[in-house]
């Protein structure tokens, strides 16, 4: 299908062989992929409805190689799209026809585990789950845990500010990040943060987190690790309606309880998960909450009683607590495998991502049901209920005429609704190309121009991941225009882009 992206620059396409030759002077010959058949493996990310072959793929192995590639691209005015594991669900690493796809998969080493400072230093291609596996023998773990944690890379997690089922209590990627090493568009290497916890300097690391590859290429990440809780217990809470389940979620948080995880699945998602991998989920509920409580044994016992009482008051039909750690993990297995489970009940699905206030869960889910009827497409709802991060899974058939367009329109309506009720377009998947054209629903033209001024400070020629996030990309010279009053610029001491 058609997707509006930056127009290919014919001069770059003509000089492709020269570019490839110079890339092979920087990295081993086999690390430059230029044959069309081989490029197919990189034509899309997890947002599979959009496809585009890159001009060339290059797989660096060292920071020096990344620096030289960036400097070369800057010299030749060639676009660059950074790519981690390719698990982006918003098209964030979609290639460009006239751009280099910079694959960071060979940056896959854990560089240091420092238990005294409770941190781990890793390369960006290390998977999320590998970090926990590297430290769990000492009783530690890395808290952010996206459903794709077995595959997604930590560099991509930083680029999208990824979340996960345990982020309600322990925070998103940004809350567990201590340091970054970044290569800028001109090839310079920037070190930000480190093992220390605080700094009174500009929060450049906060700026980079969630920047979706628009500002620089991440080559090293230092993350915080946490001691594993003494006790953890999961509760399954089943309800006869989505509204009752949503009320229970709100009541748990209002009661001053912050669970380690608080997830919710609707009837379609519950049954798809149970068919895919039996976890002991009750099949007859309209809403299922998984609530994990952690801490000391006595604390968890007390919280279990309090949450169970709240659930009863909100009309729960099922209240079941895990009896051991094996059963706790079994309860989570269905939620963790919800996406592939839904993929098993339909030819294709599109995973949306929007965040709303918790008190809007019931009304928004009711509206999504009406939209499902309007478009004639099923929708399974799986979401981080505790922080209002929705993941509606819209089922469609790409081979059926009109289905892709209906799925896109359905998804856009959901995201507009999220903004209308006081929420945001994305909680953790990023904007990429999927939500790019919806940005004006949330931001004014002034807001978007201010964001682009940050982009201009790092990448004045718009060579890093262009075509993503911003629906209209202004030239930096246009954004730099300022009002001159009586021959003087306002705030002459401040930098201007």
**pLDDT, tens only, 95-138:** 999 999 999 999 999 999 999 999 999 999 999 999 999 999 99
Looking at the fold, whether 98 and 139 belong to one and the same domain comes out as no
35 domain residue, yes or no: yes
Give the list of residues 6+ apart from residue 1 with CB closer than 8 angstroms, or none. 49, 50, 404, 405
User: Domain boundary at 62, 82, 103, which?
Assistant: 103
2 domain residue, yes or no: no
Percent of the chain's residues with pLDDT above 90: 84
Rounded-to-integer distance, Cα 174 and Cα 205, Å: 8
Q: What is the pTM of this model?
A: 0.90
In the numeric block, the tokens 């947002």 are attached to 47
Find the domain containing 217 and state its range: 110-227
User: Domain boundary at 165, 192, 227, which?
Assistant: 227
pLDDT recorded at residue 196: 81
Rounded-to-integer distance, Cα 442 and Cα 420, Å: 9
In 3-state terms the chain splits into helix, strand, coil percentages (rounded to 5) of 40, 20, 40
Q: What is the mean pLDDT of the chain?
A: 92
Structure token pair of residue 23 = 């890339």
From 47-56, 284-293, 469-478, the region with the lowest mean pLDDT: 469-478
Looking at the fold, whether 426 and 283 belong to one and the same domain comes out as yes
Looking at the fold, whether 310 and 408 belong to one and the same domain comes out as yes
State whether residue 183 is helix, strand or coil: strand
184 within 8 A of 458, measured Cβ to Cβ: yes
314 within 8 A of 251, measured Cβ to Cβ: yes
The DSSP bridge pattern shows strands 189-193 and 231-239 to be unpaired
9 has pLDDT over 80: no
User: Domain boundary at 181, 199, 227, which?
Assistant: 227
CATH number for 69: 3.30.43.10
Looking at the fold, whether 220 and 241 belong to one and the same domain comes out as no
pLDDT recorded at residue 313: 97
Structure token pair of residue 408 = 């896109």
**pLDDT, tens only, 194-253:** 988 777 788 999 999 999 999 999 999 999 999 999 999 999 999 999 999 999 999 999
422 domain residue, yes or no: yes
Question: Considering its fold, how many domains does the chain have in total?
Answer: 4
495 has pLDDT over 50: no
Angle (CA) 343-345-349 rounded to 5° is: 40
4 domain residue, yes or no: no
1 has pLDDT over 80: no
Looking at the fold, whether 220 and 235 belong to one and the same domain comes out as no
**pLDDT, tens only, 415-445:** 999 999 999 999 899 999 999 999 999 999 9
Looking at the fold, whether 413 and 343 belong to one and the same domain comes out as yes
């Amino acid at each position: 299908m058609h997707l509006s992206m930056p127009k290919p620059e014919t001069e770059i396409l003509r000089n492709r062989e020269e570019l490839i030759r110079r890339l092979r002077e920087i990295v081993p010959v086999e690390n430059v992929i230029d044959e069309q058949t081989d490029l197919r493996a990189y034509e899309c990310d997890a947002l599979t409805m959009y496809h585009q072959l890159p001009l060339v793929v290059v797989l660096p192995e060292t920071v020096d190689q990344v620096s030289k590639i960036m400097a070369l691209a800057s010299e030749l005015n060639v676009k660059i799209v950074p790519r981690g594991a390719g698990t982006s669900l918003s098209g964030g690493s979609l290639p460009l026809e006239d751009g280099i796809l910079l694959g960071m998969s060979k940056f896959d080493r854990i560089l240091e585990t420092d238990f005294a400072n409770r941190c781990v230093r890793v390369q960006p291609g290390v998977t999320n789950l590998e970090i926990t596996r590297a430290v769990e023998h000492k009783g530690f773990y890395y808290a952010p845990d996206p459903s794709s944690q077995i595959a997604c890379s930590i560099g991509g997690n930083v680029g999208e500010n990824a979340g996960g089922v345990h982020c309600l209590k322990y925070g998103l990627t940004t809350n567990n990040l201590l340091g970054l090493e970044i290569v800028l568009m001109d090839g310079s290497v920037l070190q930000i943060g480190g093992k220390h916890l605080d700094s009174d300097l500009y929060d450049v690391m906060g700026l980079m987190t969630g920047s979706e590859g628009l500002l620089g290429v991440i080559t090293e990440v230092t993350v915080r690790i946490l001691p594993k809780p003494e006790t953890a217990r999961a509760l399954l809470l089943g309800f006869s309606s989505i509204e009752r389940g949503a009320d229970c979620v709100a009541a748990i948080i209002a009661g001053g309880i912050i669970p380690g995880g608080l997830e919710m699945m609707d009837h379609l998602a519950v049954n798809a998960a149970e068919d895919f991998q039996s976890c002991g989920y009750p099949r007859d509920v309209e809403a299922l909450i998984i609530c994990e409580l952690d801490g000391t044994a006595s604390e968890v016992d007390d919280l279990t009683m309090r949450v169970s009482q709240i659930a009863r008051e909100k009309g729960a039909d099922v209240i079941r607590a895990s009896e051991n750690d094996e059963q706790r993990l079994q309860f989570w297995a269905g939620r963790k495998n919800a996406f592939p489970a839904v993929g098993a009940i339909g030819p294709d699905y599109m995973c949306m991502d929007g965040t709303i206030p918790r008190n809007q869960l019931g009304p928004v889910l009711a509206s999504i049901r009406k939209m499902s009827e309007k478009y004639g497409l099923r929708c399974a709802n799986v979401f981080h209920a505790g922080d209002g991060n929705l993941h509606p899974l819209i089922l469609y058939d790409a081979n059926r005429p009109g289905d892709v367009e209906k799925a896109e329109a359905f998804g856009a309506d959901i995201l507009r609704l999220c903004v209308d009720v006081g929420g945001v377009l994305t909680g953790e998947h990023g904007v990429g190309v999927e939500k790019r054209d919806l940005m004006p629903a949330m931001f004014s033209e002034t807001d978007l121009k201010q964001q682009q001024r940050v982009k201009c400070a790092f990448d004045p020629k718009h060579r890093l991941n262009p075509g993503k996030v911003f629906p209209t990309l202004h030239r930096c010279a246009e954004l730099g225009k300022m009002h001159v009053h009586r021959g003087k610029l306002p705030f002459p001491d401040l930098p201007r882009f």
